[in-house]
Structure formats: structure tokens, C-alpha cells
């Protein structure tokens, strides 16, 4: 079932930035991430869904009904911002109860709902605390809890973890995924952090200059980026000049299958983990420039006729590699773009 449908949405600012012709369907219970660099339009789409921006054209349907004419407070959405937006002079309980009181819930209903949601975000018993007594991660959990209490048809999250440190950000992602699995809430999440998008999403919408470049599962986005922009934006990638003849892609005399049947000059994209060491004369001649141990794997920088390439290899396999050493490499798979 489609919970959220964005149809031909356009919103342009005087600066020329904004979005054009955005079409996007989000199924019930799905977590979809809008991913892209600053200024690509992802927050414009999110704020349009929430009612904080009025689109120039197009429509937004939630549960089959257009919400365009509704103000933010009348829409079946709730938004979690970058900042926690908690009232510092109110206890956690009063911060959480505020929206429920407006909805005319009675005291018993409010107490039960707050107790339930605090268990959900793993902060039971925090009712009497003030926001200033909580860590950044705990405050963000309260902000998420407050949004849950409104029981939105679609929960909107605008870079909610960007102010947190790396370890906490990682924990909060896992929490959010857990909560989403338990509640079955439909979520639209905005981030410019590709690792975040890959780790929490059912589907990722890659945006660039106000348009959608690709929408697919994290696996497909990573393994088969449809455009050169997506290939450059998602994960680490080596880019090499090559030639294609309809049947093969040629990289410095190495031949690979040309699955896209391209012709002429191409840009070849190779993931660092898809670079393999082979016997001399079986691959591309390379010289080891640098070896960096990064936990369980090593990043090896290689000087080649195609330029500097980065390879990811198991730590045990690089024990004997030294700077200046000659090696031979090939690619287990690659992508080619015109």
C-alpha cells in the first residue's frame, strides 16, 4: 500500500535552487532516505511534505488524500529536526504531553502514552528531568519520542543525528531502525551522509541539483549506480579512462565485458574492494605507493599508468607489501559510463 505519493512536485527559489518534477512513492512501513549534497533539494522535498513550504506545482498525497491545502499542524505528519527543539523550561513529561493535550487526550491516556514511548526510546523514568539534564543523544531520543506520540502517518526526519558524535550517531541509527521495525511507521529521512543512508534505508533516493538521479535499495545503489553522479557520490570509487567497442571495455589492454554495449571513450568505475592482485603480466603493472591498516582491512594506494588507484585488501594479505614494490592488478568487476 502506498502511504505517501509525491507527484510532479516543483519548487524553485529566486536563486534558481529547488526541485523539479519530483515523483516518489513510499510504501506503508518503509524507511526511505533522501540523500545528496547540500543544495540538491532533499530538505525542500521534506519541508513540502510537512507543509512548511508551498510547492509551485504538483501534489502530495498521504493515505490517498491530498494534503497540499492543509497547514503543518493539520497534516498527518510529524517532523524531527536537526536541533532537538525541546522547551528547556519544561520537563520531559511536559515536552511530550504538549501535543497530546492539544489533541484533547485525557490525563490517563497521556500518562500511558508517554510511559510507552519512553520505553520505546529506552529512556524509561525520564519524565521529571529537564532537557538540560540530558545528553545530546538523549535529547534527540525525546524529540523522536515526541514525534511518535502524534502517531503520524508519515514521520519526517531532517538530518536528526548530524549534531551527535560518530559513535552516538551509529547507536541512534540502530535505535531508529529498531523502533521502526517495532512500530511499522513510515519514515522519510534526509541526510547527506551516505553511510547513514546505506545502513538504515529500505530505499534510497539519490538527489542532484533538484532532480532524482536514482531510487533503489541500498544494495542496488551501491552495486549498480545508474549514473556517474551516483557512482561518485556513493562509497569510495576509482575512476579510470577507458575505451569501449560495443563488446569489450578496454582499460590499458585489459579487456572486460561491455554489458551496456557502450562505444567510444568511457569513464570506468572500480570499487577499491574489486581490485585484485594477480601474477605479473596477467594484469595492470602497478607500484605500491602507500599501505594504511584500517582495522580488519588495509587500504593500498597504487601508482599505475591509469593514475593512482586505491585498493581495499584483507589485512593479512598485505603483511609483506612495501612502498615502491612492483605488483600487478586486475578488476573483479567494473562499471562504465559515457
pLDDT of residue 245: 92
| Boundary of a domain, candidates 230, 246, 277 | 230
Pair (124, 193) in one structural domain: yes
Query: How would you class 283 by CB atoms within 10 Å of its CB: exposed for 0-12, middle for 13-18, buried for 19 or more?
Result: buried
Pair (138, 195) in one structural domain: yes
Closest CA to 36 of 207, 212, 230, 237: 207
Position 82 pLDDT exceeds 80: no
Categorize the per-residue pLDDT at 44 as very low, low, confident or very high, splitting at 50, 70 and 90. Answer: very high
Distance between CA 323 and CA 326 in Å, rounded? 9
Pair (59, 89) in one structural domain: yes
Distance between CA 44 and CA 42 in Å, rounded? 5
Tens-digit pLDDT profile for residues 273-328:
999 999 988 899 999 999 999 888 999 999 999 999 999 999 988 888 999 999 99
Pair (258, 111) in one structural domain: no
Sheet containing strand 254-257, strands side by side: 254-257, 248-251, 238-245, 263-270, 335-337
Closest CA to 113 of 91, 144, 86, 145: 145
Pair (242, 224) in one structural domain: no
| Total length of the chain | 338
| Boundary of a domain, candidates 176, 207, 230 | 230
Pair (126, 220) in one structural domain: yes
Categorize the per-residue pLDDT at 90 as very low, low, confident or very high, splitting at 50, 70 and 90. Answer: very high
Tens-digit pLDDT profile for residues 210-221:
999 999 999 999
Distance between CA 157 and CA 178 in Å, rounded? 16
pLDDT of residue 253: 84
Residue pointed to by grid coordinates 534526509: 190
* DSSP conformation class of 260: T
Distance between CA 324 and CA 330 in Å, rounded? 19
Distant-in-sequence contacts of 105-113, Cβ < 8 A, 24+ apart: 113/149
- CB atoms inside a 10 Å sphere around CB 220: 14
* DSSP conformation class of 162: T
Cell representation of residue 153: 502517518
Pair (244, 103) in one structural domain: no
- CB atoms inside a 10 Å sphere around CB 320: 6
Pair (37, 108) in one structural domain: yes
Pair (18, 151) in one structural domain: yes
Per the CB < 8 A criterion, the answer to whether 149 and 99 are in contact is yes
What average pLDDT score do residues 15-26 get? 93
Q: What is the CATH number of the domain that holds 81?
A: 3.40.50.300
| Boundary of a domain, candidates 196, 211, 230 | 230
Bridge partners of 291? 300
Total tally of structural domains belonging to the chain: 2
Question: What's the number of CA atoms in the CB half-sphere (13 Å) around residue 317?
Answer: 11
Amino acid at each position: 500500500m502506498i502511504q505517501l505519493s509525491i507527484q510532479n512536485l516543483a519548487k524553485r527559489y529566486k536563486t534558481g535552487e529547488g526541485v523539479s518534477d519530483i515523483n516518489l512513492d513510499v510504501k506503508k512501513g518503509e524507511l526511505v532516505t533522501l540523500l545528496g549534497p547540500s543544495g540538491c533539494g532533499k530538505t525542500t522535498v521534506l519541508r513540502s511534505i510537512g507543509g512548511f513550504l508551498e510547492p509551485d506545482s504538483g501534489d502530495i498525497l498521504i493515505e490517498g488524500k491530498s494534503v497540499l491545502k492543509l497547514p503543518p499542524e493539520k497534516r498527518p505528519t510529524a517532523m524531527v529536526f536537526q536541533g532537538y527543539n525541546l522547551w528547556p523550561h519544561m520537563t520531559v513529561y511536559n515536552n511530550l504531553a504538549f501535543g497530546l493535550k492539544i489533541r484533547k487526550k485525557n490525563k490517563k491516556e497521556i500518562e500511558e502514552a508517554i510511559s510507552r514511548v519512553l520505553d520505546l526510546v529506552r529512556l524509561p523514568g525520564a519524565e521529571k528531568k529537564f532537557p538540560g539534564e540530558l545528553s545530546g543523544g538523549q535529547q534527540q531520543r525525546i524529540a523522536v519520542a515526541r514525534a511518535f506520540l502524534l502517531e503520524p502517518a508519515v514521520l519526517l526526519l531532517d538530518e536528526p543525528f548530524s549534531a551527535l558524535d560518530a559513535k552516538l550517531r551509529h547507536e541512534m541509527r540502530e535505535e531508529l531502525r529498531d523502533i521502526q521495525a517495532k512500530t511499522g511507521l513510515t519514515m522519510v529521512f534526509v541526510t547527506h551522509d551516505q553511510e547513514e543512508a546505506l545502513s538504515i534505508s529500505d530505499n534510497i533516493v539519490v538527489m542532484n541539483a533538484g532532480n532524482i538521479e536514482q531510487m533503489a535499495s541500498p544494495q542496488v545503489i551501491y552495486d549498480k549506480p545508474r549514473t556517474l553522479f551516483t557512482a561518485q557520490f556513493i562509497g569510495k570509487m576509482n575512476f579510470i579512462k577507458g575505451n569501449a567497442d560495443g563488446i569489450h571495455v578496454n582499460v590499458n589492454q585489459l579487456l572486460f565485458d561491455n554489458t551496456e554495449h557502450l562505444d567510444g571513450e568511457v569513464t570506468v568505475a572500480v570499487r577499491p574492494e574489486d581490485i585484485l592482485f594477480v601474477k605479473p603480466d596477467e594484469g595492470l603493472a602497478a607500484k605500491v605507493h602507500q599501505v594504511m591498516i584500517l582495522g580488519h582491512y588495509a587500504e593500498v594506494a597504487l601508482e599505475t599508468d591509469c593514475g593512482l588507484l586505491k585498493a581495499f585488501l584483507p589485512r593479512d594479505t598485505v603483511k609483506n607489501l612495501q612502498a615502491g614494490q612492483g605488483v600487478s592488478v586486475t578488476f573483479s568487476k567494473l562499471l562504465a559510463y559515457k
